[in-house]
Amino acid sequence: MPDQKDDGEIIESADNTQTRRDWLLISTLTLATAGTAVGLWPFIKSLNPSAEIQAQRTSKIDISAVELGEQLVAQWQGKPLFIVHRTKEMIEKAEADDGGTDPQADSERVERPEWLILLGTCPHLGCVPRFEETDEYLWVCPCHNSTFDYSGRVLRAPSPKNLQVPPYRFISDTEIEVGEA
């Protein structure tokens, strides 16, 4: 309760002043949080593909321009898609073993050995791995350094799984269709 002097002046008690200061702080923080949320919304929205994109069950992709040893990053249902035109050496490395902690034969992951097609999102937390050709691996995740071999199989944690192979088929030697109709 405020105290009152003899001349009628109202004196705020320490408690009351504290309460007002708290309220101002809470209001400011609330506004700041709301501002941050508004600021983040376009970013969050950009990470969520629109319903229209997700509704496109299949995508046709021209792979004729992908040179040997190179990667094309395409899109499927709003997600990155890695298409690698593997050289003979890359295929040999992929076929030399079954990968690391999530073993799988390379032959089970490709339709044609010279074409490796993968979803470009890390199974750990969804970052997009970087194409980086080394003796040991072909991708490294920029978020927590998981590595993936020449078949997209995980070699180094924390990713618990291999890069996923999406459903796809060859329409011709130069075009694939990704997804299931």
Kindly tell me which residue out of 74, 84, 141, 163 binds ligand FES, with binding defined by CB under 6 A. Answer: 141
In the bound state with ligand FES, the residue whose beta carbon lies nearer, of 122 and 176, is: 122
Collect contacts of 64-71 with beta carbons under 8 A, ≥24 apart. 64/174, 64/175, 69/133, 71/131
Of 144, 166, 177, 179, which is the active-site residue?
144
Instruction: Tell me how far, at minimum, the Cβ of 137 lies from ligand FES, in Å.
Output: 13
CA angle 15, 17, 22 (to 5 degrees): 95
C-alpha span between 19 and 180 (Å, rounded): 61
Nearer to ligand FES, 72 or 127 (CB): 127
Q: Are the C-beta atoms of residues 150 and 94 closer than 8 Å to each other? A: yes
User: Binding to ligand FES (CB under 6 A): which residues in 109-128?
Assistant: 122, 124-125, 127
x/- track of binding to ligand FES for residues 157-176 (CB under 6 A):
-xx-----------------
Q: Whose Cβ is closer to ligand FES: residue 71's or residue 147's?
A: 147
Site for ligand FES in 13-52 (CB under 6 A): none
Measured CA to CA, the distance from residue 39 to residue 84 in angstroms comes to 36
**What is the smallest separation between the CB atom of 128 and ligand FES, expressed in angstroms?**
9
SS3 category, 7: coil
Query: Is 144 considered catalytic here?
Result: yes
In sequence order, what DSSP letters do the residues of 39-108 get, joined into one string? HHHHHHHHHS--HHHHH---EEEE-TT--TT-EEEEEETTEEEEEEE--HHHHHHHHSS--SSS---GGG
Nearest-approach distance from CB 68 to ligand FES, in angstroms: 27
Q: Which residues are catalytic?
A: 144
- Summarize as ranges the residues that interact with ligand FES (CB under 6 A): 122, 124-125, 127, 141, 143-144, 146, 158-159
